[in-house]
Structure 1
């Protein structure tokens, strides 16, 4: 079963501005057809990576996980559409009757490119290190659920959880799937940072910061000489969305994964192929619930009531997105159809709350952080214009480079409010990780016992009806507390030229890099 995310990862993961597309896949069969052997592809990415080790990279978010998959491959990945955990380097991952003890089996004869074995000991080392506070792992919240790991034999790892989780395989597929060579990392951590050693279909040959990352076919790849299909893949940084669209449309570049509704619509208008997956939350205003001014729920509610998701869609997304006031997309099997949503826009009530705060000596003033790209800037500035039209509120908009934005919000939690794309496929693990009060990666600083209880209950079962009951209760409480304010349903889309083949997009927005290639 697959990960929750980047419900709330990537909230919840590094945000890049954009919303959910209304359209479905456009000519998906062409991209899904088997790729021929050889050739190269140019993939556009919106930002460079701060790190490419599994601790400091956004493993559960579409901005980075394709590059991680290329270098490390995946133990398990999230099946498109369903979110089920599918084995890759892993052979199986099965629970005992309690759901508290899981047994991981690894395929035989897999090696890292330094010729050390990809085995149970390697997985144990990485999963244990994710819990090490000194690593400052971005997915520490997912690893924190693990009580202990034991190597049973070279290809078998026993995993004991702190509490039963019937969906731990989703956690692995989303957040703990990338394993590197412990030998290489311990021997030379500095070299590993730019020349990572994995067991993936590609090896790093060049990394020019803020420009491009070039990877070439791994001659030792465990799946044999037929994989990967490509000889070379280059990830090219291009933050301007219009330039990216034109580059793919003219054949200068081959494809891009985007969370932008307008990008998806424009790509289809240009005759490009598109493949999409729906995700939880989408685009939202994330509040830092742990510090003023948004430790006061009245301040959060005032902002939510002052804004109208339908108007944001019209003005900032040219009417091409899907407005929402719910954490879950319409028709989500994770919540009841009548699950409570955040209250609709009511500027009169918003002003009353702002006046009440001001009368107590707390007029609302905050900085709104934005990831630096065209769509986010347009959306953020419109939101600012709507808020400052009221009295007793001051909003400063601060765009930031995406790497710095992620550091400020996700790592340092040095923010008051931020425009954030939560692109996740299931509540497990990232929704839990970012909203449970005990999680070390709860960067919202949100604490509510009812939500904790619902998240805990959801972990105890894989039964769809029981999960729906738990997450409906969670949604109802979150609608009252408004730890975040969602306004655009989430959808991840790959737009691509006609020469692309073998394109498989996971529920976390990751492309399976061993299959991607060119059409015959």
Structure 2
């Protein structure tokens, strides 16, 4: 697997956190390139609960910000913290991203190795694994799943991760030969991030419509009850491949609670055990309440994304005008109460994936923003658009600031629209029926998610961003596992993004799990996935 050099600290941008919360808002390093998981100063008793050995038996309640539209690996967001832990509970993972190094760690997979060119990979699967319908979890099942991700009719949300696969061949029941369209020295990261969840092909083909509500996997849990928009209760899988000692829990419940204050108060009072969040304010409040927190830094964080396929943001001047009119430091102060880390790039401020001093997005300059708006208006294109927001408290605060700041300028008119998270995801990622939207990217590495979101011909490029130089940089980073060569490629990518502004990052990302005193065995992968077979109650 791949390792990166120790990160070189870059100068902190102006407007970083106040000293009182500096211990919480740790400088992030891009996972998968030498980043590390952070346990940031939570009380010793609660923090020890996460790393202490968990006892067998009992149950835990995990708070989820939204329900899932589907729980199949095609219609769910398999590389996003909101859906990924439930997927991992049902399907288990071929590989997952190890939180300290970002490398791909085997789970149901035995190994994933490349030939010298990085074009042909060999996947080995552990023996004697079965889906809960009794059918074999084997190379044929993986082949079928990955082929379906590529099938346009399936409309998989991670189609971009599978698109570079040219062909797959079942060598024997536990061996799959994977030939890529072009070399990718980091294909193991692609699998760990986006292609790790394998459903039963037999069950899915037998009942295509019903499978999304009644999935069949080989994971540590099975669904015993699912009340939409309320809770999903999972029971221990009695035929789990790791034997009767796993998973540790007899039952786990994912309870839907969109209000972040209610979730925090509930866990602090013992009415719930654990929540995974991308909110920096939630993390600070949890620490103040004496709860344990563990964090992993991620790429991108929170951003405005623009749809370059339709007016007004098919014109790069419109995108630049919005970016120049806003200040990440003001957003951090007003919307995040100075508890986050202002960002100007998709890469954290001391990421080893880009060279020190690499410029981020243009700094706030409202005079230049007004000049661009006036120029567009003179051409008969005054800027008017709807800013789409997911339904949660933090998004509302951020959206209100952005709306106010933009509407104080001339020749611009902005309104906001809020949608429930499931609807919002479908609107932005599937239908692509938006002009500009708030989006929170929480990914461990450029491979594969950033690549598939930004590459011109990728089926997952919902921004419709097209830049040959950015494509070349993404391709170059994909071809190598050498840290210096990856850094050179992604430094060029950062420069192209700063020039084109297909998105405007304003808050560095980190995923936080906060938890009460009963939680133990907590491992949070770099993609925000809870590793469900070892999660349990404190002994």
Q: Paired residue for 2:155, among 123, 136, 142?
A: 136
- Indicate which of 303, 319, 322 corresponds to 1:284: 303
CA offsets, 1:20-75, max 9 Å, x none?
96055224432021210000000000000010001000100000000000000000
Displacement of 1:323 in angstroms is 0.4
Report what 1:248 is aligned to: 267
* Distance across 2 between alignment mates of 1:491 and 1:203: 29
Aligned-pair distance for 1:194? 1.4
Q: What is the aligned counterpart of 1:414 among 430, 433, 437?
A: 433
Are 1:288 and 1:417, in contact at CA under 8 Å, matched by a contact in 2?
yes
1:364-411: CA deviation from partner (whole Å, max 9, x where unpaired): 000000000111011111111000010000001101000010001000
1-side partners of 2:48 and 2:120: how far apart?
40
**What corresponds to 2:334 in structure 1?**
315
The 1-side partners of 2:358 and 2:517 are apart by 41
- Counterpart position of 1:358: 377
Report SS of the residue matched to 1:303.
helix
CA shift, 1:326, in A, is: 1.2
Asked if residue 22 in structure 1 is aligned to residue 30 in structure 2, the reply is no
Mapping for residues 103-502 of structure 1, pairs under 5 Å: 103-502=122-521
What secondary structure sits across from 1:199 in the alignment?
coil
**Following the alignment from structure 1 to structure 2, what is the Cα–Cα distance between the partners of residues 80 and 156?**
27
Match of 2:16 in 1: none
- TM-score normalised according to structure 2 size: 0.92
Once residues 218 and 361 of structure 2 are traced to their aligned partners in structure 1, the CA distance between those partners, rounded to angstroms, is: 44
Contact 1:105 1:156 survives alignment (8 Å): yes
Aligned to 1:49: 68
Gaps of 5+ in 1: 3-19
CA shift for structure 1 position 503: 0.2
**CA–CA distance in 1 between the matches of 2:347 and 2:318?**
23
Q: How does 1:51-66 map to 2 (within 5 A)?
A: 51-66=70-85
Partner Cα distance (2:367, 2:186) in 1: 43
How far apart in 1 are the matches of 2:343 and 2:202?
A: 47
Structure 1 pair 291–81 and aligned structure 2 pair: CA distance change class (3 A): farther
Structure 1 residue 82, shift from structure 2 partner: 1.9
Distance in 2, matches of 1:409 and 1:458, equals: 27
Question: Does the residue aligned with 1:486 lie in a helix, a strand or coil?
Answer: strand
3-state SS of paired residue (1:48):
coil
Distance 2:234 2:214 in 1: 11
1:81: how far off?
3.1
Distance 2:479 2:207 in 1: 40
Aligned-partner SS, 2:113: strand
| Cα distance between partner residues in 1 of 2:101 and 2:318 | 37
SS, match of residue 193 in structure 1: coil
Instruction: Report deviation, 1:328.
Output: 0.5
> Within 2, Cα distance between the matches of 1:115 and 1:34?
31
Q: CA deviation at 1:191?
A: 2.7
| Equivalent position to 1:76, from 72, 91, 95 | 95
TM-align CA RMSD:
1.0
**Structure 1 residue 190: Cα displacement:** 2.5
Distance (whole Å) between structure 2 residues aligned to residue 518 and residue 145 of structure 1: 41
Kept in 2: contact 1:118–1:199 (CA 8 A)? yes
| Alpha-carbon contact 1:81-1:278 (below 8 Å) kept | no
Q: Can you list the C-alpha shifts for 1:314-362, whole angstroms capped at 9, x where unaligned?
A: 0000010000111110111111111121110000000000000000000
How many residues end up aligned between the 2 structures? 503
Rounded Cα–Cα distance in structure 1 between residues aligned with 2:404 and 2:102: 38
1:12 aligned partner:
none
CA distance in 2, matches of 1:340, 1:310: 16
How far has the Cα of 1:235 moved from its partner? 0.2
Distance in 2 of aligned mates of 1:206 and 1:191: 15
Instruction: Give 3-state SS (helix, strand or coil) of 2:101's partner.
Output: coil
Partner Cα distance (2:356, 2:48) in 1? 32
* TM-score normalized with structure 1 length: 0.96
2:34 corresponds to: none
Superposed CA deviations along residues 475-513 of structure 1, whole A, max 9, x for unmatched, are: 011001000000000010000001100000000000000
- For 2:192 and 2:249, locate their aligned partners in 1 and report how far apart those are by CA, in whole Å: 24
Higher relative contact order, chain-length normalized (CA < 8 Å, sep 6+)? 1
Which deviates more from structure 2 when the two are superposed, residues 324-333 or residues 367-376?
Answer: 324-333
SS at match of 1:184: helix
CA contact (8 A) 1:287 1:444 kept: yes
1:192 Cα offset (Å): 1.5
Deviation string 1:6-31 (CA, Å, 9 cap, x unpaired) is xxxxxxxxxxxxxx960552244320
Q: In 2, distance between residues paired with 1:309 and 1:331?
A: 17
The answer for unaligned runs of 5 or more in structure 2 is: 3-21, 27-37
Structure 1 runs (4+) deviating above 6 angstroms are: none
User: Are 1:305 and 1:344, in contact at CA under 8 Å, matched by a contact in 2?
Assistant: yes
